[in-house]
Amino acid sequence: MEPVDPHLFVIFGATGDLTRRKLIPSIFRVMTEDGAAAAHNLLGVSRSDGSDDEFRQFTNEALHTAGYDGSLVEEWCRERVFYHQTERGTTDLDSLRDRIEAIEADLGLSGNRIFYLALPPVAFSSVIDQLGRAGLATGPGWTRLVVEKPFGHDLATAHQLNDQIHAHFDEHQVYRIDHYLGKETVQNLLAFRFANLLFESAWNRDRVEAIEITVAEHLGTEGRAGYYDHAGVIRDMVQNHITQLISLISMEAPNAFEADEIRNQKVDVLESIAPIKAEDVVYGQYEAGVIDGEAVPAYADDPEVAAGSNTATFVAMRLGIANWRWEGVPIFVRTGKRLPRKTTQIAVVFRRPPVCIFHGVKDECSSHQNVVIITLQPNEGFEVRFDVKAPGSPLTLVSQPLHFDYDEAFARLPDAYQTLILDVMEGDQTLFVRSDEVENSWALYTPLLEMDLPALPYPAGTWGPAAVDERLGLKNGWVMRDV
């Protein structure tokens, strides 16, 4: 990789868990791989009491936990890591601007800056306005703003936040981050589709019968119940992660592999998704059950969950894309907590041949449908299921997998945050969400959030409410029922 431009990476929320677990190790990993330590300078910003030395120790410990030790860690922390404490209740960032300019002067930097908001969403608006008022939205070099998810709570709040950002920053400066897009296998959806004519030529309503997307979590709320009870499954997983998968699996080929070309096609897909009807949605909330042989409590038993809460921890839905490529092809989505295991998979189910010449008992067709299964986590890879004749007689067809496994082919997949942070440093917005994309996504789900639909109970350790298959019209259940 080419060395990135020298810059100052400013993290708001510098002493938080995201910074410790993901951001600091990712920045350091990029720095070690491009071999230009002087280009990577870190300024932590927080309201917590602290000093340069204390934040350097925090950074050192974060890197040690991530498996990094040695003289390079010590040298980088000592010479390239700084801390600035903002005053509680302050309405401006003038002191931060002065500190940034002083650090840049001392290090001989040209004024390239990244502002990363590793903050609770409620703080986004205030910090963005303060950056603008302090004159930090522009600088001597380039300036980039990274905003974590969730971006808004519904369509109105997302639109308001976009307006607030655009009052100070141009869209080309803004990087709305969704770590799912940094996963190597998610990016490879584009390569799989558009670099392989074998698949792209069949990726349409003439050949595809249905698409299934499963994002399953075996954990519960795990200390996040206070947040989750106000968010629910649509805001937590569907509006962001799953919608990105839908757009990537169904978008048209871009004219070039460039940020705006790819994001234009993703927006076109979102604009083509038909309004979601209540009868095409099944919500669920997990009850007590068994996970990996251990009894786990119900969602409602968490002390942070409001009494009588109807918050959904599971949703299954049927979507349709009203365009030339996908008209009539259902997209089935399911995601939830306390499911049997953690997995993210996409199944593209192809139609049967128009005439069956292989018959089994009771003259039923004995062939199986071809399926492409894309596994995003764990055990990342691709699998194609196809029919072969079993040896002997009578003639019997069996479905067999042809698979590709990333762990077998490559030594290491980069961490999603490492990929995205490098893209921010290089100014590549391909894997980041544009303003019209996030608003189109919220426009799709906000009406659904306003419907008062019940959350049906399901035992922890199962695949959701029993009514899902019948309600959504899955005649033979999910292809991925055995994942």
Asked if 365 contacts 352 with a C-beta cutoff of 8 angstroms, the reply is: yes
Along the 483 residues of the chain, how does pLDDT read in single tens digits? 667 899 999 999 999 999 999 999 999 999 988 777 788 999 999 988 889 999 999 999 999 998 888 888 999 999 999 999 987 656 678 999 999 999 999 999 999 999 999 998 888 999 999 999 999 999 999 999 999 888 888 999 999 999 999 999 999 999 999 887 777 777 788 888 898 888 888 999 999 999 999 999 999 987 788 888 888 999 989 999 999 999 999 999 998 888 889 999 999 999 999 999 999 999 999 999 998 888 999 999 999 999 999 999 999 999 999 999 999 999 999 999 999 989 999 999 998 887 777 676 556 666 678 899 998 888 888 888 888 878 877 777 778 888 888 878 777 777 888 889 999 999 999 889 999 999 999 999 999 999 989 999 999 999 999 999 989 988 777 876 544
For 293, the 3-state DSSP assignment is: coil
Asked if 142 contacts 4 with a C-beta cutoff of 8 angstroms, the reply is: no
Strands 81-85 and 113-117: unpaired
Q: Is 172 a catalytic residue?
A: no
CA separation for the pair 443, 271 (Å, rounded): 9
**For position 388, what pLDDT does the model report?**
81
CA separation for the pair 8, 112 (Å, rounded): 6
Strands 7-12 and 113-117: parallel
DSSP calls for 66-78: TT--SHHHHHHHH
The strand pairing partners of 42, in sequence order, are 9, 81
Residue 373's nearest CA partner among 398, 334, 402 is: 402
**For position 483, what pLDDT does the model report?**
41
CA separation for the pair 435, 413 (Å, rounded): 29
Q: In this structure, what are the phi and psi dihedrals at residue 280, rounded to the nearest 5 degrees?
A: -100, 15
Asked if 241 contacts 248 with a C-beta cutoff of 8 angstroms, the reply is: no
Cα 318 to Cα 188, 204, 267, 273, 309, distances in angstroms: 25, 18, 20, 11, 25
Domains in the chain (CATH in brackets) are 7-148 (3.40.50.720), 181-413+432-482 (3.30.360.10)
CA separation for the pair 27, 8 (Å, rounded): 11
Asked if 213 contacts 245 with a C-beta cutoff of 8 angstroms, the reply is: yes
**For position 379, what pLDDT does the model report?**
80
Q: In this structure, what are the phi and psi dihedrals at residue 349, rounded to the nearest 5 degrees?
A: -100, 120
Asked if 447 contacts 275 with a C-beta cutoff of 8 angstroms, the reply is: yes
Token pair for residue 172?
Answer: 């080309």
The catalytically annotated residue of 40, 153, 168, 241 is 241
For 104, the 3-state DSSP assignment is: helix
Predicted TM-score (pTM) above 0.85 = yes
Token pair for residue 238?
Answer: 């569907």
Cα 335 to Cα 236, 297, 436, distances in angstroms: 10, 19, 25
**For position 481, what pLDDT does the model report?**
55
CA separation for the pair 316, 451 (Å, rounded): 15
